[in-house]
Structure 1
Amino acid sequence: MPVEQILSNAQLVTADRVFYGTVVLRDGLIAEVNEGPSRLPQALDLNGDYLLPGLVELHTDNLERHMTPRPGVDWPSVPAVLSHDAQIIAAGITTVFDAVSIGDVNPKGNRMQKLPAMLEAISKASEAGLTRAEHRLHLRCELCHPDTLTVFRDLVENPLVQLVSVMDHSPGQRQFVLESKYREYYMGKYHLTTTQMDEFITLQMANSRTYSDRYRAAIVEHCLALGLSVASHDDATLAHVEESARYGMTIAEFPTTVEAARGCRENGMQVLMGAPNIVRGGSHSGNVAAADLAAAGLLDILSSDYYPASLLQSAFALAAQNQRIGLAEAVRMVSLNPARAAGLTDRGEIAPGLRADLIQARSQDGLPVVQQVWRQATRVF
């Protein structure tokens, strides 16, 4: 006999509207979506809370913070993954693309050395059924690092890889058109002296000239041959966007200007921006505000980036800030839209036949507080 659960008396946030209703779960899937409360005694009363689809996170480097909780401290890899996973599921994220960086712009960093342990830990924890969210991999390829292409080719065949992004964080490129901003950001982040920063800039610019264009072409070609979704990163101009579109990229991560975002939309690319940008009211790098793109109808996907809890909060905040964007549309940006952009057609909304990945959230003065989370109809939080 199929296992059936009934979740009733909830504000259902579907892909196009919000209404009080009941959801029936059966065999890990959503079997029915009905208006009004259930009269069956076995129905679970959600007390009028919101019932939303499980969130889909395409770009988070949150795992790195658990792998290295303090500078110079390397935490055991599987416990680090489980700690990260607990934070992800508590934020209502049921599908997470863990972003792992190929090519380290930090002159003092050890990201490249830790990559094998990170990937092995994610795979081991997932295969053992220890994770509560579903983990997939997002390879972030820093094009101005000499070893990026070689490492990419070694990792891209991992079955968990489903998304790849290409980026160039050298001065004068995309996010850092102004060298002054580049200096300010990296000297502060990596505690470099003026001399160290000068040497770092010289090296990065030389590497960009040597590797960036060649690596971008090779990586994208390989991804498209494997059927992987490919994202650009920090497009700043229409020329950047047109280049990304020519390569066949379908997702634009963090475009830095309205011009670039509009160009992405015109070229059929999904625009992804940071949820912290919405919550904080602007970009920490001084680039375009995500709320401004939303107001212009140029925002498709939100990503928690460095702060998992921001994802659900940003959807509610965006709906409250912008009268033209309802909660259903805002929630699509953190569920259905990212799922479809990554090629996942079995999740992302509350609809019959899809996976029963769900969140019960209570609004406390406009702040959504997660109460329960289900993944494929199994309660995991």
Structure 2
Amino acid sequence: MNDGSDVVLERLMTLHPKVIDLVLDRVHRLLSALDHPERRIPPVIHIAGTNGKGSTQAMIRAGLEAAGDVVHAYTSPHLARFHERIRVAGALIEEDDLARLLAECEAANGGEQITFFEITTCAAFLAFARTSADWTLLEVGLGGRLDATNVIHPALTVITPISMDHEAFLGDTIEAIAGEKAGILKSGVPCIVGPQDERALEVIEYRAARLNAPLHVQGQHWHVIEEDGHLIFQDEDGLMDLPLPRLIGRHQVDNAGMAIAALRALKRTAGADAAMTDADWPARMQRLRTGPLVDAAGDADLWLDGGHNPAAGHALAEALTRLPPRPLHLICGMLNTKDATGYMTPLAPLAKHLHAVSIPGEANTLPAADTAAAAKRAGIPASTALSVANAIATIKATTPDARILICGSLYLAGNVLRENG
């Protein structure tokens, strides 16, 4: 798709030499020039964490909308199109509106240095400030403390499970990363906390105590389990018996628990069933059912997942064990900033073979040969392929009844969704 916003987005990519530069000065400057739209947006639920942010946000949104509320939502990165990042009053932002907002932010910025994420976040705030809604769901881009979204005073915060990721920017220990994520905590504002490593939880609890921010922690203040095909949620207000999440995997039960705890805190549980059954979040154990890649796979079933760190690898392995047995072939492409072997190790007992690809058009792709080498270190037989389509053809020729999982990166997932139409 080549449209007006794409032209502006390409220009915005040139406004700062670094893709990621975690300070808030540039955001505050531009928001001031725009007359502070962040102060006029509907009440905010601010979500940080390493894994599960998008799925948890999707379930909260489904629950709020089923309760009759109008919801803005901001997430990143996008998969196939940038528009996916900004949802205004329940609908993806219109192309013409996005182009105008981006141009307005570009003009107000006056050529000053600012990162792509910072200026597009400001555009989202403008959109949200100019359209009526009941709630705004904001997903942190990276970290929390110095993330461009961390300029608002939320009604509620959510911290999903924290694990090792983005060490170059957030620190090389769980404690350091947790300190950055806990930067979204605000004085007096309640926070829903998902399952955490004890070291991460200690950091969150310490910062919350200093800010007098009430915590609602899984395992302490609320509990969630899967039982007899149902999701059982319990807190001091009582027990809820709900459908299992539509999203696949044991980790989605924990994500669902965070979503229900958030709806409880907002006193909006009328849509709790819909939070489970209606939430949709692409490239998270997504079964691809139509399209040219599905046609090319023949009798094989085709799945897509964008997880990319060791914790995501564990969650993915658990989700795969719940499916009817088939020979598992992975098609994997990763960024060179990720722990490829750590991601693949949990998948090693399940995978027959890994077909490594480079991510098309991505400067930071891990070369296919390096991905294959990482797979072998993890204990998975591996070879390289020229493309996802090439790998599918190879698998179909040798294992026509395979389960094919395309995995390793949201950037690869985006390419696959575009290629598959």
TM normalised by structure 1 equals 0.31
Q: Relative contact order, CA 8 A, sep 6+: which one is greater?
A: 1
TM normalised by structure 2 equals 0.29
The structure with the greater share of residues assigned to strand is: 1
